[in-house]
Amino acid sequence: MEIQEKLVIIGSGPAGLTAAIYAARGSLNPVVISGREAGGQLMLTTDVDDFPGFPEGIQGPDLMARMKKQAERFSTKFIDEDVISVDLKRRPFEIKSETCNLLTETLIIATGASAMWLGLPSEQKLIGKGVSSCAVCDGYFFKDKDVIVVGGGDTAMREAQHLSKLCKSVTIVHRRDSLRAQSALQNLVKSKPNIKFIWNTEVIECLGDEKIKAVKLKDVKSGKIKEMPIDGLFVAIGHKPNVEFLKGQLELDKGYIKVKNETHASVDGVFVAGDVSDYHFRQAVTAAGAGCKATMDVEEYLEANV
Ligand SMILES: Cc1cc2nc3c(=O)[nH]c(=O)nc-3n(C[C@H](O)[C@H](O)[C@H](O)COP(=O)(O)OP(=O)(O)OC[C@H]3O[C@@H](n4cnc5c(N)ncnc54)[C@H](O)[C@@H]3O)c2cc1C
C-alpha cells in the first residue's frame, strides 16, 4: 500500500530545510527528498559571514549540517536521492525519486539554481578558495584586493559594480568584444574608475594550491596566452534553475518557476521556495525566509482544501 504524505519537500538547501523545520514543528510530518547534492550550494563554500546568528561567521557545510539537525529534531524524514519525475495532473500528486514512489497532498519545490562554472578542473578545486560565483556573498573577503569577473551579461555587470565598491581593482574578462548586458548597466560599470575590461579573452586555468594566485588568459583572436596575478575570480556567466524533473508541468519565467503571491506555483497545492524561483536575491537568508513562507502557505492550503 502506498502511504499518502501531507507534504513532500524537494531540495535540502536553506529553503527546503527551513520549510522542513516549520512543517515538522507544525505536525505535518514532512518528507524531504534531499537530492544528490544534499545541503545545496552552501556545501560548496567556506566562510559564510552574512547569515544572522553567527557573529564569528560559520563554514557553509556546518551551517547546513545544523539546519538538517534542527529539521531532524522535529522528526523530518529524509530521502537522499534526486527526484526523477512528478505528476502534478493527478491528486494526490505523485513524486518519483530514484527508488521511491510517494503520494502527497502538497508539494514544496526548493531545488535551487546551479551557478554555471567555466568547467576547468583548476577552477573547481579552488571554489571557496578565491573562486566564487557570488559577489554579494564573498566580495567582502576581497576588500582592497584585485579581482577578475568573467562574463558579459547583466549578472556580470552587477557583480562587477558591487565588487568595485570593495576591491582595489576589478577586471572584467569577456570572450567577445562587446557586452550583452543592458546599456544602463554597461554605462554604470564603464563609469567606475577601478573597473577595466579585457576583451576577446578567456580564462583557461586558475593557478594556486590553497588559494588562487593567478589565472592564465588566452586571447581568442591571436591565441596568445599570458598569466595575470589575481586575488579572486568571480564567475558570472549565469545560473541554471534545477527544474528538469518537472518536464513542463509548471509555468516558468525565464527558466525559473513562476510564482504568484510569493510561493504559489501555477498548480494549486504546489509551492515554491528559494533560488529555483528567485533570480534576483539568491541568498541563503532569503531562501530560508521563502521556505518559511512556503510552509505557512501549505498549512493555510491544507486547512482550506483537505
Ligand atoms: C560558492 C557559493 C557561495 C555562496 N555564499 C553565500 C553566502 O556567503 N551567503 C549567502 O547568503 N548565500 C551564499 N550563496 C548563495 C546561497 O548558497 C544560495 O542562495 C542558497 O543556497 C539557495 O538556497 P536554496 O535552498 O534555494 O537552493 P540550493 O542551496 O541550491 O539547494 C537546492 C537543493 O535542491 C536539491 N535538488 C536539486 N535538484 C533536485 C532533484 N531533481 N531532486 C531532489 N533534489 C534536488 C539539491 O540537492 C539541493 O539540496 C553562495 C552560493 C555559492 C554557489
The better pLDDT of the pair 1, 162 is held by 162
Q: Which residues pair with 229 in a beta bridge?
A: 214
Written as nine digits, the cell of 255 is 527558466
**Which one of 137, 231, 275, 278 is the catalytic residue?**
137
Report which of 93, 10, 7 is spatially closest to residue 272, judged by C-alpha positions.
10
Q: What is the CA radius of gyration of the chain?
A: 21
Q: Which residues pair with 218 in a beta bridge?
A: 202, 225
Expressed in angstroms and rounded, the spacing between residue 58 Cα and the centre of ligand 1 is 16
Expressed in angstroms and rounded, the spacing between residue 194 Cα and the centre of ligand 1 is 31
- Ligand 1 atom with least separation from CA of 111: 34
Q: Does 235 score more than 60 pLDDT?
A: yes
State yes or no: is 206 an active-site residue. Answer: no
Expressed in angstroms and rounded, the spacing between residue 282 Cα and the centre of ligand 1 is 9
Average of per-residue pLDDT values in the chain: 96
Domain boundary among 211, 235, 259: 235
* Tens-place pLDDT, residues 68-89: 999 999 989 999 999 999 999 9
Q: What is residue 44's predicted lDDT score, i.e. its pLDDT?
A: 83
In angstroms, rounded to a whole number, what is the distance separating the alpha carbons of residues 209 and 206?
A: 9
> Which residue is closest in CA terms to ligand 1's atom 53?
41
Mean pLDDT of 221-242: 97
Mean pLDDT of 168-191: 95
Residues 294 and 188 in one domain: no
- Ligand 1 atom with least separation from CA of 242: 38
Residues 226 and 127 in one domain: yes
Identify the sign of the CA torsion 202, 206, 212, 214: negative
Q: What percent of the chain has pLDDT over 70?
A: 99
Q: What is residue 45's predicted lDDT score, i.e. its pLDDT?
A: 83
In angstroms, rounded to a whole number, what is the distance separating the alpha carbons of residues 304 and 181?
A: 45
Phi, psi for 123 (deg, rounded to 5) = -70, -45
Residues flanking ligand 1, CB < 6 Å: 10-16, 33-42, 44-45, 48, 50, 82-83, 110-112, 115, 127, 132-134, 137-138, 242, 245, 274-275, 282-285, 287
Q: Does 2 score more than 90 pLDDT?
A: no
Residues 121 and 228 in one domain: yes
In angstroms, rounded to a whole number, what is the distance separating the alpha carbons of residues 264 and 191?
A: 40
Q: What is residue 228's predicted lDDT score, i.e. its pLDDT?
A: 98
In angstroms, rounded to a whole number, what is the distance separating the alpha carbons of residues 181 and 83?
A: 34
> Which residue is closest in CA terms to ligand 1's atom 3?
45
> Which residue is closest in CA terms to ligand 1's atom 5?
137
- Ligand 1 atom with least separation from CA of 42: 17
Element (H, E) at 171: strand 169-173
**Which one of 49, 82, 87, 138 is the catalytic residue?**
138
Residues 12 and 94 in one domain: yes
* Tens-place pLDDT, residues 110-142: 999 999 999 999 999 999 999 999 999 899 999
- Ligand 1 atom with least separation from CA of 113: 30
Q: Does 1 score more than 60 pLDDT?
A: no
What is the number of structural domains in the chain?
Answer: 2
Residues 91 and 197 in one domain: no
Residues 103 and 126 in one domain: no
Residues 144 and 228 in one domain: yes
Domain boundary among 215, 235, 255: 235
Residues 134 and 179 in one domain: yes
Mean pLDDT of 1-27: 93
Q: What is residue 214's predicted lDDT score, i.e. its pLDDT?
A: 98
Give the pLDDT band of residue 3 (cuts 50, 70, 90). confident
Residues 163 and 264 in one domain: no
| Entry pTM | 0.90
Domain boundary among 235, 258, 279: 235
Report which of 9, 14, 13 is spatially closest to residue 76, judged by C-alpha positions.
9
Identify the sign of the CA torsion 130, 136, 137, 142: positive
Residues 219 and 231 in one domain: yes
Phi, psi for 246 (deg, rounded to 5) = -75, -25
> In 3-state terms, what secondary structure has residue 143?
coil
Are 112 and 215 in contact, with CB atoms under 8 Å apart? no
Mean pLDDT of 19-40: 96
Contacts of 10 (CB under 8 A, 6+ apart): 16, 32, 33, 35, 83, 95, 107, 108, 109, 110, 111, 245
Residues 244 and 108 in one domain: yes
Place of cell 564603464: 190
**Domain span holding position 167:** 117-235
Q: Does 303 score more than 70 pLDDT?
A: yes
Residues 227 and 244 in one domain: no
CATH number for the domain that contains residue 131: 3.50.50.60
**Mutational test site, ligand 1, from 85, 134, 281, 282, max ligand atoms within 8 Å of CB:** 134
Written as nine digits, the cell of 51 is 547569515
